[in-house]
Amino acid sequence: MKQVRELMSEDCKTVTLQDNIYEAAVIMAENDIGFVPVVDQGNGSQLIGAVTDRDLVVRGYAQKRSGSSAISEVMSDQLISTSPDTDAEEAAAIMAQHQIRRLPVVENGHLVGVIALGDLALGNTTEQDAGQALSEISEHHDQQHLH
């Protein structure tokens, strides 16, 4: 069984509380990503939150916030994360349980990577585990949009 450290992306694009939502959007667009961890500028890579493309839309632009609004106005600070030593199957289960597609990987409070559901499918939890997690997440989102 592979561990998260073998499958995660280590080259994470990040923002700090000094950045604004426009800068986060540019990072997402330039890197074709929809998730950017927020780290503490004064403490290197300490993870303090994350911004998703959905956060920018729902908490940002839909609330008529300008691009110069602070990251803190749109970021999630209640994050689910995992350790690099977690096995891939457990990471898939965490994603399914919390209905998320990306999981920050934290060691001693510091961001060391991000693992996405696609990483699990490619690196092979078992494809069944990743497929099951994706199925559960997709069903949950579909049900939310129907109500």
- Residue 57 vs residue 120, higher pLDDT: 57
Residue-level pLDDT at 123 = 62
Residue-level pLDDT at 107 = 95
Integer Cα distance of 147 and 131 in angstroms: 25
Q: Crossing angle for the helix pair 127-146 and 88-98, nearest 10 degrees? A: 10
Integer Cα distance of 64 and 61 in angstroms: 5
pTM attached to this predicted model? 0.80
Tell me the residue type at 20: N
Integer Cα distance of 117 and 109 in angstroms: 22
Please give the distance of CA 99 from its chain centroid, rounded to a whole number: 11
Residue-level pLDDT at 42 = 81
Burial class (CB in 10 A: 0-12, 13-18, 19+), 90: middle
31-56 pLDDT, tens digit each:
999 999 999 978 778 999 999 999 99
Integer Cα distance of 108 and 124 in angstroms: 26
Residue-level pLDDT at 125 = 47
103-130 pLDDT, tens digit each:
999 999 999 999 999 888 776 544 455 4
Q: What is the SS3 assignment for 83?
A: coil
C-alpha closest to that of 17 among 69, 66, 80, 78: 69
Please give the distance of CA 43 from its chain centroid, rounded to a whole number: 20
70-97 pLDDT, tens digit each:
999 999 998 999 999 999 999 999 999 9
